[in-house]
Structure 1
Amino acid sequence: MQTRILGKNGPTVSALGLGAMGMSGAYGVADRGESIATVHAALDAGVTLIDTGDFYAAGHNELLLAEALRDRPRDSYLLSVKTGLLLRPGGMPGGNDARPEAIRSNLTYSLTRLGTDHVDIYRPARLDPAVPIEETVGAIKELVEAGLVRYVGLSEMNAETIRRAHAVHPISDLQIEYSLISRAVETEVLPTLRELGIGLTAYGVLSRGLISGHWTTERTTRPADSDHRALSPRFAADNVEHNLALVEELRKIAAARDCTVAQLAIAWVAAQDPAVVPLVGARTRTRLAEALPAAQLELTADELALIERAVPAGSARGDRYPSAFMANLGVGN
């Protein structure tokens, strides 16, 4: 496994990270044993960065990771934890709370659930409009000074907010959705990260499976009740066929390179900057095994040009989140 450095202020991590959200039912029922086996397989393959959130299934994800990591040396992996997103009964988002007192309390719970004495990267999941980002980052800075957190990260924030946060404490990385069909980050956010020397951990690199090469319209018509994709505009009946036609163009390029569509899409994200680390949301060993070779896949300038022509920026239909959630994002699609 190759490694990358999350900007000039962050840690060295594996070139691919593991996003654990799907292991706690976000995309339908997940198998606990298979999820744990997938974490083990990722670590055995050299993956060192594992991403979670204290609100993923109301703490279930942290408890799952604690079980999976119990017998692994603590210095063999890095935990990235998002916080601040509130949940209503039933699991739907209920706003944000990034007050310093909430940040400190949430970390206490996370450390207990994860069974660890520190979190490697701690980050607010969204900007709390009621709390200046300086106060939120200042609270995490205190946790760094106390030895409970190693690095300060951000998630889904715009360029101005990134600058303000970075002025309080060096930011290791911004976590934000970035894929061939989610490219709003390229306009202002990515240039700002490069200027400030901040890394980017990219989630949604396969757009929740839409551009993985495995999604079909038949799956769209029968989403599980617990599958968040049932609410996603890009998976809606009036958009999904158009978006899957883009995937077919990618499939031609992947075939010529003798790789899968998923590998091509992941490698494209990694090729955008040396400080970009794609997070792979695999919840089975099979999907993980398919994703891992993407870390070794170096795309040529000609291949990148072909991909750009096949899926130009703005070519997807539908927002990346339901309209009610778009206002909380640092950038759009």
Structure 2
Amino acid sequence: MGEAVMQLRKFGRTGRRVGEVGFGAWAIGGSWGDVDEGEAVAALNAALDAGVTFVDTADVYGDGRSERIVAKVLKERPGADIYVATKAGRRLPQQTVAGYTYANLSGWIDRSLQNLGVEALDLVQLHCPPTDLYYHPEAFDALDRIKAEGKIRDYGVSVERLEEGLKAIEYPGVVSVQIIFNLFRQRPAGLFFATAKKRDIAVIARVPLASGLLTGKLKADSTFADDDHRKFNRHGEAFDVGETFSGVPYEVGLAAVERIRRLVPGGATMAQLALRWILMFDPVTVVIPGARNAAQARANAEAADLPWLEDADMAALKAIYDEDIKPYVHQKW
């Protein structure tokens, strides 16, 4: 594909614009098997070279390793207009509403400021807190206070459930919602997207490739390292099962992937089709695939160059979801 200019989308009410394909930095931090630091740096540099301007990380990815790798790359690219989003909340030993205090949030944010080597965080997101937190305005008051102190420019939330996103955007300070949205998790495209668009909320689509299922490269006998969540969290042992293969039973997902394979356009990969499908939805601001090496990062960015999908293909992809996947996931999240 020729050199295409990455399309920019408005990031909600922040006044910023970001490239529609971003970079998810979970895989370069940990929980995806071993990733060499040199490969991680190369992956992020390749993404930025390809026009990516939005990087999503978190304080717990590799216990700060992901943030530090992002900082290292950005230091070598002075003047680059990169929007870095991180997350806070998963450092709590146990997820409780009581843990989301001003003191704890300040401490986590101070640590991220240090890891990222910046004076203010572009965006800090609550990292999939308990559902009940969204009914506690004091947590959002604490974020408003930290914003007033100048440590963060804006804040948003990363949610497991669509209802959490709808509740979060009732708080006037919330500028963005990060939510799982992909070919195997289509429910956000209804009420949630309509509401987010109406309120000018940025939507960050995460887990776009269903933990690799939608690359079409996984098989029934694929094996994963012990420290890869696709092995240790397959039944939700460590965190919400929806984060691993989007909550779709592995064999069910593989069967649906075979039906999707027939719809992949010539010259493209299934991963690129899956990313292009997400970008067909106007309320999506940015999609954040992960990449473990430079080739993957470039291929992800090139998904934005694919032509718009035909109505017939969109209908076929919805039918595969409705028939094969929907009964397993639709009402759970």
TM range (shorter): 0.7 to 0.9
1:148 aligns to what? Answer: 151
Name the CA shift for 1:133/1:164 in 2 (closer, same or farther; >3 Å). farther
Name the CA shift for 1:300/1:235 in 2 (closer, same or farther; >3 Å). closer
Task: Pick one of 185, 189, 200 that aligns with 2:188.
Answer: 185
Task: Pick one of 295, 298, 307 that aligns with 2:317.
Answer: 307
Residue type at the aligned position of 1:299: L
In structure 2, distance between residues paired with 1:206 and 1:290: 13
In structure 2, distance between residues paired with 1:99 and 1:201: 25
Q: Does 2:86 correspond to 1:86?
A: no
Name the CA shift for 1:185/1:332 in 2 (closer, same or farther; >3 Å). farther
Name the CA shift for 1:235/1:147 in 2 (closer, same or farther; >3 Å). closer
In structure 2, distance between residues paired with 1:87 and 1:226: 20
Larger CA deviation: 124-133 vs 282-291 = 124-133
1:159 Cα deviation after fit: 6.1
Q: Does 2:38 correspond to 1:37?
A: no
Q: Does 2:117 correspond to 1:126?
A: no
Larger CA deviation: 64-73 vs 32-41 = 64-73
Name the CA shift for 1:86/1:270 in 2 (closer, same or farther; >3 Å). same
Q: When the two structures are aligned, how many residues end up with a matched partner?
A: 314
SS at structure 2 position matched to 1:21 = coil
- Superposed CA RMSD in Å reads 2.6
Cα contact 1:263–1:291 (8 A) shared by 2: yes
1:288 Cα deviation after fit: 1.3
In structure 1, distance between residues paired with 2:254 and 2:78: 42
Residue type at the aligned position of 1:226: D
SS at structure 2 position matched to 1:291 = helix
1:148 Cα deviation after fit: 2.0
Instruction: Give the alignment's TM-score, normalised by structure 2.
Output: 0.85
Task: Pick one of 255, 262, 267 that aligns with 1:252.
Answer: 262
In structure 1, distance between residues paired with 2:329 and 2:170: 32
SS at structure 1 position matched to 2:100 = coil
2:230 aligns to what? Answer: 229
Gap runs ≥5 in structure 2: 1-5, 236-243
1:283 aligns to what? Answer: 292
Task: Pick one of 107, 116, 119 that aligns with 1:117.
Answer: 119
- Correspondence 1:51-90 to 2 at 5 A: 51-73=56-78, 75-86=80-91
1:244 Cα deviation after fit: 1.0
1:104 aligns to what? Answer: 106
Residue type at the aligned position of 2:332: G
Larger CA deviation: 34-43 vs 301-310 = 301-310
2:279 aligns to what? Answer: 270
Residue type at the aligned position of 1:150: R
Cα contact 1:282–1:288 (8 A) shared by 2: yes
Larger CA deviation: 71-80 vs 119-128 = 71-80
In structure 1, distance between residues paired with 2:327 and 2:214: 13
1:9 Cα deviation after fit: 4.2
In structure 2, distance between residues paired with 1:288 and 1:187: 30
Cα contact 1:239–1:317 (8 A) shared by 2: no
In structure 2, distance between residues paired with 1:160 and 1:28: 32
Larger CA deviation: 55-64 vs 137-146 = 137-146
In structure 2, distance between residues paired with 1:142 and 1:85: 20
Cα contact 2:51–2:301 (8 A) shared by 1: no
In structure 2, distance between residues paired with 1:254 and 1:5: 29
CA offsets, 1:127-164, max 9 Å, x none? 34368542222222223223321222111065665565
CA offsets, 1:13-71, max 9 Å, x none? 11111000111221111111010011111111111110011111221211222222222
1:174 Cα deviation after fit: 0.3
In structure 1, distance between residues paired with 2:42 and 2:219: 27
1:332 Cα deviation after fit: 3.1
In structure 2, distance between residues paired with 1:131 and 1:172: 15
In structure 2, distance between residues paired with 1:225 and 1:290: 27
Cα contact 1:122–1:152 (8 A) shared by 2: yes
SS at structure 2 position matched to 1:82 = strand
Name the CA shift for 1:178/1:10 in 2 (closer, same or farther; >3 Å). farther
Residue type at the aligned position of 1:261: M
